[in-house]
């Protein structure tokens, strides 16, 4: 069975979201299906899209678990975005959270750091 995931994030300004999410993900959108949606493919069959829905903007919560958390955070910082928070849970799993201009939350999670400093 193949499953495609499309996680939607409502935004109040399409162009502002296009810029912000492009910097967050480090890429141009995969496609622009219409004049209100912008779609990024983060991995095969895994997409995040923004949709112009001003009345709903600011309430999304999406977390992506990645195997290169530190590298992604550094690259995102180089593109001008900094996390609003950083956490390490009791089991060692790490999470950094970004908030877009509308207040939507996009988290990046990563495995615990092993004794040599790499994610396990």
* Residue 68, domain member (yes or no): yes
In this structure, is residue 116 part of a structural domain?
Answer: no
> Is 105 inside a domain boundary?
yes
Please indicate, yes or no, if residue 86 is contained in any of the structural domains.
Answer: yes
The pLDDT, as a whole number, for residue 1 is: 83
Strand positions, DSSP E, the chain: 5-11, 37-43, 46-52, 61-65, 85-88, 94-99, 105-110
* pLDDT, position 118: 57
Q: Which pTM was predicted?
A: 0.90
Mean pLDDT per 10-residue run, the chain (120 residues)?
Answer: 93 98 98 97 96 98 96 98 98 98 98 68
User: Per the domain annotation, does 66 fall within a domain?
Assistant: yes
- Per the structure, the count of domains in the chain is 1
Q: How far is CA 92 from CA 24, 30, 31, 52, in A?
A: 24, 33, 36, 36
Query: With b meaning 16 or more CB within 10 Å and e meaning fewer, what string describes 58-78?
Result: bebeeebebeebeebbeebee
Residue 29 inside a domain? The answer is: yes
Q: Give the CATH number of the domain where residue 17 resides.
A: 3.10.180.10
């Amino acid at each position: 069975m193949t499953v495609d995931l499309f996680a939607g994030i409502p935004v109040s300004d399409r162009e502002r979201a296009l810029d912000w999410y492009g910097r967050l993900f480090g890429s141009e959108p995969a496609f622009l299906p219409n004049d209100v949606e912008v779609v990024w493919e983060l991995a095969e069959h895994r997409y995040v899209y923004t949709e112009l829905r001003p009345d709903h903007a600011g309430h999304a919560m999406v977390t992506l678990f990645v195997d290169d958390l530190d590298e992604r955070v550094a690259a995102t910082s180089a593109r001008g975005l900094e996390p609003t928070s950083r956490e390490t849970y009791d089991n060692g799993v790490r999470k950094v959270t970004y908030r877009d201009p509308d207040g939507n939350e996009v988290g990046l999670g990563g495995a615990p750091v092993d004794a040599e400093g790499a994610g396990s």
